[in-house]
């Protein structure tokens, strides 16, 4: 848009609201009020919370009931007048979350009320693997989970979380360095027709969704934070206002590939001295002299026992994390860091020290930030599977009319 010097350009007029867009907005509003409530709400409660008329709310709730987003529960109230009929999330509506990791595949079916209905994991070594061999295994795993869930479940769609760079809107995985995959279109390779529409995402982005919003429609977690996770390497995400920041190409938040030493070791991403070369699990194992089969708990035990190599590796990792996070926090002005994956499991050893280092170096440090905490889902090895499913369900909550008017069928 051109601007004449001294004369501000006129803003583009907002698109006029239509009856359809107004209904879409109100349906989403009512759905979020009902799903986000800690206890069941009556239609009258929803009317008060939304400032909509009772008759409007009643029509909208009827639509949500017909679409399977909410259900009525037993009536309450025994006094004068008609007893209220509360509505809650309908747990028949589900999404499937699939996660491909370097050491396992996991499929998890998540209901609209946040309940994990069923799941299955397949362990293996998928480093340097063939996507044409691995992804059919992932699809078959998902199909088995759906088969065990029961005929009354309604599948909205599937989210597939991958540990690599995903190009939004194209269904293309550009690169997953630790898997050895490049330029892959994963969805056709799943070779399973019953998964509904499949939504591709980055593994760390999906795990961060689980932190910010552990239940669909209910943003109970932190809303502004940097998330770090990983297994072999380090994944990351930046969350602002409860939404994962994607960036123009969908690559935002890749803190594992922030350079902390320009003369450092080569990274599979093509750069040198990346954070994950110092703080990734494989880097910690190697520096501590531990075998590749050693888990992060074994490394932590070596640190607690005073093993010199392990302690030195931990100190190197802390320095690299400090360098990367100081830049990220100052650039984005984010008040919190959440540690997940293997870094979360090291939380007791690194979180207090890391918080102190950041507090002394970032601009916000003298004003009380940032905090460093451990993801409460750190014992769940596949939070990205949950986050991928929640993101699919969030799409229905954002645009319930598309689901309802399509007869409750995926892809409509």
Are residues 320 and 339 located together in one domain of the fold?
yes
What is the structure's pLDDT at 17? 64
Are residues 300 and 248 located together in one domain of the fold?
yes
What is the structure's pLDDT at 4? 39
Are residues 32 and 118 located together in one domain of the fold?
no
- The answer to whether residue 374 scores a pLDDT higher than 50 is yes
- The answer to whether residue 225 scores a pLDDT higher than 80 is yes
List the end-to-end C-alpha distance of the chain, in Å, as a whole number. Answer: 35
Are residues 228 and 366 located together in one domain of the fold?
yes
Residue 13 belongs to a domain: no
Q: Tell me the C-alpha distance between 194 and 249, whole Å.
A: 29
Q: Tell me the C-alpha distance between 365 and 354, whole Å.
A: 12
Residue 6 belongs to a domain: no
**Out of 19-23, 236-240, 291-295, 375-379, which region has the weakest mean confidence (pLDDT)?**
19-23
- The answer to whether residue 304 scores a pLDDT higher than 80 is yes
Residues 81-92, mean pLDDT to the nearest whole number: 83
What CATH number did the domain enclosing 279 receive? 3.30.420.40
pLDDT > 70: percent of the chain: 92
Question: What distances in angstroms separate CA 204 from CA 165, 227, 387, 397, one per listed residue?
Answer: 10, 8, 9, 22
Q: Tell me the C-alpha distance between 305 and 272, whole Å.
A: 32
Are residues 227 and 345 located together in one domain of the fold?
yes
Residue 1 belongs to a domain: no
Parent domain of 71 = 19-78+85-89
What is the structure's pLDDT at 232? 83
Are residues 66 and 118 located together in one domain of the fold?
no
With contact defined as beta carbons under 8 Å apart, do 146 and 382 qualify? Answer: no
Asked which of 38, 68, 89 is the last residue of a domain, the reply is 89
Asked which of 33, 54, 89 is the last residue of a domain, the reply is 89
- The answer to whether residue 245 scores a pLDDT higher than 50 is yes
Structure tokens at 54: 């009772």
DSSP 309: H
**Out of 12-26, 82-96, 353-367, which region has the weakest mean confidence (pLDDT)?**
12-26
Asked which of 89, 119, 149 is the last residue of a domain, the reply is 89
Residue 158 belongs to a domain: yes
Are residues 73 and 172 located together in one domain of the fold?
no
With contact defined as beta carbons under 8 Å apart, do 317 and 278 qualify? Answer: yes
Residue 412 belongs to a domain: no
Residue 410 belongs to a domain: no
Are residues 177 and 258 located together in one domain of the fold?
no
What is the structure's pLDDT at 365? 85
Question: What distances in angstroms separate CA 324 from CA 235, 258, 350, one per listed residue?
Answer: 13, 6, 15
| More reliable by pLDDT, 156 or 410 | 156
Domain count, the chain: 3
- The answer to whether residue 79 scores a pLDDT higher than 60 is no
Of 225, 249, 235, nearest to 383 by C-alpha is 235
Are residues 74 and 107 located together in one domain of the fold?
no
pLDDT band at 1 (very low <50, low <70, confident <90, very high): very low
Residue 229 belongs to a domain: yes
pTM of the predicted model, to two decimals?
0.89
How remote is the C-alpha of 207 from its chain's centroid? 4
- What mean pLDDT, rounded, does the chain reach? 90
Are residues 157 and 268 located together in one domain of the fold?
no
Are residues 29 and 112 located together in one domain of the fold?
no
Are residues 132 and 206 located together in one domain of the fold?
yes
Residue 358 belongs to a domain: yes
Query: What are the counts of helices (DSSP H) followed by strands (DSSP E) for the chain?
Result: 14, 15
Please write the tens of the pLDDT for every residue from 46-56.
Answer: 999 999 999 99
- The answer to whether residue 117 scores a pLDDT higher than 90 is yes
What CATH number did the domain enclosing 51 receive? 1.10.10.10
């Amino acid at each position: 848009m051109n601007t004449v010097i001294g004369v501000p350009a006129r803003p583009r007029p907002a698109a006029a609201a239509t009856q359809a867009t107004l209904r879409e907005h109100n349906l989403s509003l009512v759905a979020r009020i009902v799903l986000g409530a800690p206890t069941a709400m009556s239609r009258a409660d929803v009317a008060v919370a939304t400032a909509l008329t009772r008759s409007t709310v009643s029509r909208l709730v009827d639509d949500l009931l017909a679409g399977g987003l909410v259900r009525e529960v037993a009536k309450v109230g025994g006094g004068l007048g008609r007893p209220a009929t509360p509505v809650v999330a309908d747990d028949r509506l589900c999404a499937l979350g699939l996660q491909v990791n370097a050491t396992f595949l996991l499929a998890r079916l998540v209901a609209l009320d946040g309940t994990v209905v069923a799941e299955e994991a397949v362990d293996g070594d998928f480093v340097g693997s063939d996507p044409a061999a691995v992804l059919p295994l992932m699809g078959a795993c998902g199909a088995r989970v759906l088969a065990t869930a029961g005929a009354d479940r309604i599948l909205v769609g599937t989210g597939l979380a991958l540990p690599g760079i995903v190009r939004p809107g194209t269904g293309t995985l550009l690169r997953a360095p630790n898997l050895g995959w490049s330029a892959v279109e994963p969805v056709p390779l799943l070779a399973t027709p019953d998964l509904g529409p499949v939504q591709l995402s980055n593994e760390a982005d999906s795990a961060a969704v689980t932190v910010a919003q552990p239940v669909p429609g209910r943003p109970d977690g932190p809303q502004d934070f940097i998330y770090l996770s990983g297994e072999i390497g380090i994944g990351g995400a930046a969350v602002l206002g409860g939404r994962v920041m994607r960036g123009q190409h969908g690559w935002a938040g890749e803190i594992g590939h922030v350079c902390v030493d320009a003369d450092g070791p080569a990274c599979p991403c093509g750069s040198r001295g990346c954070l994950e070369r110092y703080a990734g699990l494989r880097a910690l194992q190697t520096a501590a002299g531990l075998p590749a089969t050693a888990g992060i708990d074994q490394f932590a035990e070596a640190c607690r026992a005073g093993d010199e190599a392990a302690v030195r590796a931990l100190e190197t990792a802390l320095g690299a994390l400090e360098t990367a996070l100081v830049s990220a926090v100052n650039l984005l002005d984010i008040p919190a860091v959440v540690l997940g994956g293997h870094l979360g499991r090291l939380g007791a050893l690194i979180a207090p020290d890391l918080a102190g280092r950041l507090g002394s170096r970032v601009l916000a440090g003298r004003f009380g930030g940032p905090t460093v905490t451990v993801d409460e889902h750190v014992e769940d090895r596949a939070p990205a599977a949950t986050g991928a499913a929640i993101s699919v369900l969030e799409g229905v909550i954002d645009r319930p009319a598309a689901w309802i008017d399509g007869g409750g069928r995926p892809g409509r």
